Amino acid sequence: MSETEPRLAFEDNEYLPAVAQDADSGEVLMLAYVTPEALERTRETDRAHYYSRSRDELWEKGATSGHTQHVEEIRVDCDGDALLYLIDQEGGACHTGYHSCFYRTIDGNVVSEKVFDPDDVYE
């Protein structure tokens, strides 16, 4: 296997973590998990698909909220056990209404503003 043809570690893991990063600003927006099927759907559609471990199902980011992620590029880490989605985010990435899921510090200080009201989106 060459450096340019990464082996994805799905045989060692049921799913891999995928970090969604704003392709323009570099801001980290969220972390989710993907299965081989979620990755395949993402590559087919250029829209981010993930696997919900709590609901045990494949889901397309923004299918309910309209806050979609257009995937511009997918990168693989050196071990093949994590992915980086470079994306163009429509609206907020976080279901709580923030642009990024990383909107607060470890001490609980909110360092961002809400970009939408989740009660209006997830009725």
In tens, the pLDDT along 57-93 reads: 999 999 989 999 999 999 999 989 999 999 999 999 9
Query: In this structure, which amino acid lies at residue 85?
Result: Y
What value does the mean pLDDT of the chain take?
92
pLDDT for the residue 122: 80
- 76 occurs within a structural domain: yes
Structure tokens at 20: 């969604």
Higher pLDDT, 4 or 24: 24
Indicate which CATH number applies to the domain containing 42.
3.10.20.810
How many other CB atoms are there within 10 angstroms of residue 29's CB atom? 22
Q: Is 81 annotated as a binding residue?
A: yes
* Residue 44 pLDDT class (50, 70, 90 cuts): very high
| Full domain range(s) for residue 20 | 9-118
Q: Is 94 annotated as a binding residue?
A: yes
Number of domains in the chain: 1
Q: Is 117 annotated as a binding residue?
A: no
Q: Which of 12, 19, 3 is nearest to 102 (CA)?
A: 19
pLDDT for the residue 3: 61
Q: Is 77 annotated as a binding residue?
A: yes
For the chain, helix (H) and strand (E) counts, in that order, are 2, 6
Q: Is 88 annotated as a binding residue?
A: no
Q: Are 51 and 35 in contact (CB under 8 A)?
A: yes
